[in-house]
């Protein structure tokens, strides 16, 4: 941004003040937005004046008249300022306005000779004089040419992106409808929405690295939660039988089109149910919520027509791997699985056990091929430390499923482990993995163990990634497209909090 352009606008602010105009008044009382004005517009022509407010997106001086476009949340309307109508003093103020300024206008609806819906302005008020010019968006022959081509800049300055491309608001409206649909679905089935701590002395509930912070008053290290799971299961112990939470969770891991270090998770816990019950509920809930957000149960995503109306496939992880590789991963030698992964370009950690290799082989050979909604069931027990052992193969597999659509995981569920003796042993196994180098292994949580030693009913637990569902419902190719303010690398020349001296 050229500093002289900002200085010119600063000078206009000073000139406005000299003329007795407050460039930043307290309020403006409007009677409707542009959508309401345009709805039944012809019936309003030459009728009573209406008051609208918004941002000037085009200004075209024509001697003693000025045409402009005003944009608000509801759309755009053309404005017609006539010097003889608003007076010489007001017209002089109009000359000090720029693209991007926010104004309130009172005018009478009319149509121009070309038939364009227009507001003939009787009076106007400057509501916010902008100092920083908007990037230009040019129009020619009905085509739009966007001079702001830097996608990274659009993510960094979402507010500018939404001004220049108001159609992108539809993505976030769909996201809001999705969350409302999920809440309504669970509320109607007797689930209670609760809130649990984001700052935790011990993190758990997922296989992930945490963010660490420090509480000054208590002089103790705290972690941002990586999941909502463990506090919610304590509520099952306390007597709540159906609880859920929609909130932010934080994982100190890589960023790509499917991952952001903070994201929104829905988790619910359902006493006296198991993962099969949860599978039925999740299928119906996802179908209902995405349909409410997208307006259809068939959504176009990544070049595929995803049919949420059809029954979701249900396949075991072991069967799927054998189908795609010919390998029975439960009986094949571990060295053979390792060699197969290395051949596929996968780096195998030294601490990896059979369960880790089964999961890695699934990710390599199967996951990208699961386009239509598919529940992948019965994961290795070793990678599911909070799930009950499978009732048919309790030493090898867990009662767990993940929902995959278009090669991405959308949800995770267990028949929750409520045997405190088994849970302690699983935590101890995880501790050994941490010592061997697995920094995503679960941390032993004595407080949680004490809770389930008090007695937790059998239950199904589910976690669903809201951001990925929002991507599906809106057709967005990247998680950044459904986050209003995604995390970005710092721009060159801009200080971070540490560099500026902030704690």
Residue 59 within any structural domain of the chain: yes
**Count of alpha carbons within 13 Å of 420, Cβ hemisphere only?**
16
Task: Map residue 275 onto helix, strand or coil.
Answer: helix
Residue 139 within any structural domain of the chain: no
Please, what is the end-to-end C-alpha distance for the chain in angstroms? 30
Please report the pLDDT score of residue 216 as a whole number.
96
C-alpha distances out from residue 298 to 59, 184, 285, 473, Å? 42, 21, 15, 10
Q: Which of 299, 50, 35 is nearest to 166 (CA)?
A: 35
Q: How many CB atoms lie within 10 A of CB 173?
A: 11
Instruction: Looking at the structure, tell me whether residues 122 and 210 fall in a common domain.
Output: no
Full pLDDT tens readout for the chain, 503 residues: 688 999 999 999 999 999 999 999 999 999 999 999 999 999 999 999 999 999 999 999 999 999 999 999 999 999 999 999 999 999 999 999 999 999 999 999 999 999 999 999 999 999 999 999 998 756 556 665 555 667 888 899 999 999 999 999 999 999 999 999 999 999 999 999 999 999 999 998 888 899 999 999 999 999 999 999 999 999 999 999 999 999 999 999 889 999 999 999 999 999 999 999 999 999 999 999 999 999 999 999 999 999 999 999 999 999 999 999 999 999 999 999 999 999 999 999 988 999 999 999 999 999 999 999 999 999 999 999 999 999 999 999 999 999 999 999 999 999 999 999 999 999 999 989 988 888 888 888 999 999 999 999 999 999 999 999 999 999 999 999 999 999 988 877 665 555 444 43
The model's pTM is 0.90
Residue 285 within any structural domain of the chain: yes
Task: Map residue 211 onto helix, strand or coil.
Answer: coil
Determine whether 426 is exposed, middle or buried from the number of CB atoms within 10 Å of its CB (0-12, 13-18, 19+): buried
Please report the pLDDT score of residue 143 as a whole number.
63
How many structural domains are present in the chain? 2
Q: Which of 97, 59, 52 is nearest to 75 (CA)?
A: 52
Structure tokens at 270: 């359902």
Please report the pLDDT score of residue 490 as a whole number.
83
Task: Map residue 473 onto helix, strand or coil.
Answer: helix
Do 72 and 131 form a contact (C-beta atoms < 8 A)? no
Instruction: Looking at the structure, tell me whether residues 121 and 196 fall in a common domain.
Output: no
CATH number at residue 94: 2.40.50.140
Instruction: Looking at the structure, tell me whether residues 402 and 295 fall in a common domain.
Output: yes
CATH number at residue 422: 3.30.930.10
Question: How is 350-409 classified by DSSP, letter by letter?
Answer: TT--HHHHHHHHHHHHTGGG--S-EEEE--BGGG-TTBPBPSSSTTTBBSEEEEEETTEE
Instruction: Looking at the structure, tell me whether residues 94 and 193 fall in a common domain.
Output: no
Measured CA to CA, the distance from residue 117 to residue 114 in angstroms comes to 9
Instruction: Looking at the structure, tell me whether residues 379 and 254 fall in a common domain.
Output: yes
Measured CA to CA, the distance from residue 221 to residue 204 in angstroms comes to 15
Determine whether 316 is exposed, middle or buried from the number of CB atoms within 10 Å of its CB (0-12, 13-18, 19+): middle
Please, which residues bridge with residue 246 across strands? Answer: 266
Instruction: Looking at the structure, tell me whether residues 122 and 228 fall in a common domain.
Output: no
Instruction: Looking at the structure, tell me whether residues 62 and 177 fall in a common domain.
Output: no
Measured CA to CA, the distance from residue 27 to residue 30 in angstroms comes to 10
What is the residue range of 287's domain? 169-312+372-482
Determine whether 239 is exposed, middle or buried from the number of CB atoms within 10 Å of its CB (0-12, 13-18, 19+): exposed
Please report the pLDDT score of residue 371 as a whole number.
98
Q: Please say which residue of 85, 114, 134 terminates a domain.
A: 134
Q: Given the DSSP bridges, would you call strands 400-405 and 408-415 parallel, antiparallel or unpaired?
A: antiparallel
Q: What is the DSSP letter of 135?
A: P
The alpha carbon of residue 51 and the mean position of all alpha carbons in its chain are separated, in whole angstroms, by: 35
Residue 320 within any structural domain of the chain: no
Instruction: Looking at the structure, tell me whether residues 125 and 212 fall in a common domain.
Output: no
Please report the pLDDT score of residue 186 as a whole number.
98
Measured CA to CA, the distance from residue 145 to residue 168 in angstroms comes to 16
Residue 357 within any structural domain of the chain: no
Residue 34 within any structural domain of the chain: yes
Do 207 and 426 form a contact (C-beta atoms < 8 A)? no
Element at 238 (helix H, strand E): helix 229-238
Instruction: Looking at the structure, tell me whether residues 74 and 190 fall in a common domain.
Output: no
Please report the pLDDT score of residue 501 as a whole number.
40
Residue 494 within any structural domain of the chain: no
CA 474-475-479 angle, 5° bins: 85
Measured CA to CA, the distance from residue 117 to residue 111 in angstroms comes to 5
Instruction: Looking at the structure, tell me whether residues 17 and 120 fall in a common domain.
Output: yes
Instruction: Looking at the structure, tell me whether residues 113 and 174 fall in a common domain.
Output: no
Residue 341 within any structural domain of the chain: no
**Count of alpha carbons within 13 Å of 21, Cβ hemisphere only?**
22
Do 108 and 93 form a contact (C-beta atoms < 8 A)? no
Instruction: Looking at the structure, tell me whether residues 377 and 461 fall in a common domain.
Output: yes
Per the rule left: phi > 0, alpha: psi between -120 and 50, beta: everything else, 408 is beta
Structure tokens at 286: 């996802």
Handedness of CA 373, 378, 383, 385 (dihedral sign): positive
């Amino acid at each position: 941004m050229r500093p002289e352009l900002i200085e010119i606008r600063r000078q206009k602010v000073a000139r406005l003040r000299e003329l007795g105009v407050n460039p930043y008044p307290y309020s403006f009382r409007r009677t409707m937005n542009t959508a309401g004005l345009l709805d039944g517009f012809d019936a309003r022509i030459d009728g009573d004046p209406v008051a609208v407010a918004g941002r000037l997106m085009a200004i075209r001086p024509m001697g003693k008249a000025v045409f402009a476009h005003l944009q608000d949340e509801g759309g755009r309307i053309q404005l017609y300022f006539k010097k003889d109508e608003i007076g010489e003093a007001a017209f002089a103020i109009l000359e000090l306005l720029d693209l991007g300024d926010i104004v309130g206008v009172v005018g009478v609806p009319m149509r121009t000779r070309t038939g364009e819906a227009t507001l003939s302005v009787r009076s106007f008020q400057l509501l916010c004089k902008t100092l920083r010019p908007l990037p230009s968006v040019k129009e020619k022959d009905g085509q739009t040419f966007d001079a702001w081509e830097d996608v990274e800049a659009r993510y960094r300055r979402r507010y500018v992106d939404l001004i220049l491309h108001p159609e992108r608001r539809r993505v976030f409206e769909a996201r809001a409808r999705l969350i409302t649909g999920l809440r309504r679905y669970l509320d109607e089935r007797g689930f209670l929405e609760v809130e649990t701590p984001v700052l935790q002395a011990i993190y758990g509930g997922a296989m992930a690295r945490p963010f660490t912070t420090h509480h000054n008053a208590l002089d103790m290290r705290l972690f941002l939660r990586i999941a909502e799971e463990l506090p919610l299961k304590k509520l099952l112990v306390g007597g709540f039988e159906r609880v859920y939470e929609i909130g932010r969770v934080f994982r100190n891991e890589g960023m790509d089109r499917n991952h952001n270090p903070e994201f929104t998770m829905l988790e619910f816990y359902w006493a006296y149910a198991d993962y099969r019950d949860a599978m039925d509920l999740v299928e119906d809930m996802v179908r209902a919520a995405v349909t409410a957000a997208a307006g259809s149960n068939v959504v176009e995503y990544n070049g595929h027509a995803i049919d949420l109306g059809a029954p979701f496939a249900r396949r075991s992880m072991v069967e799927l791997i054998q189908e795609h590789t010919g390998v029975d991963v439960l009986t094949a030698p571990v060295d053979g699985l390792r060699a197969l992964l290395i051949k596929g370009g996968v780096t195998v950690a030294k601490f990896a056990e059979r369960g880790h290799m089964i999961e890695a082989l699934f990710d390599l050979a199967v996951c990208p091929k699961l386009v239509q909604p598919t529940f992948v069931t019965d994961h290795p027990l070793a990678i599911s430390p909070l799930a009950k052992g499978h009732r048919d193969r309790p030493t090898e597999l867990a009662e767990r499923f993940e929902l995959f659509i278009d090669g991405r995981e959308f949800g995770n569920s267990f028949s929750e482990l409520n045997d405190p003796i088994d849970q302690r042993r699983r935590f101890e196994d995880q501790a050994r993995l941490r010592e061997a180098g697995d920094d995503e292994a679960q941390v032993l949580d004595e407080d949680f163990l004490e809770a389930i030693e008090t007695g937790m009913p059998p239950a199904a637990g589910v976690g669903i990634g809201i951001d990925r569902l929002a991507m599906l419902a809106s057709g967005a190719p990247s998680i950044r497209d459904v986050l209003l303010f995604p995390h970005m690398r710092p721009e060159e020349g801009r200080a971070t909090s540490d560099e500026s001296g902030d704690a």
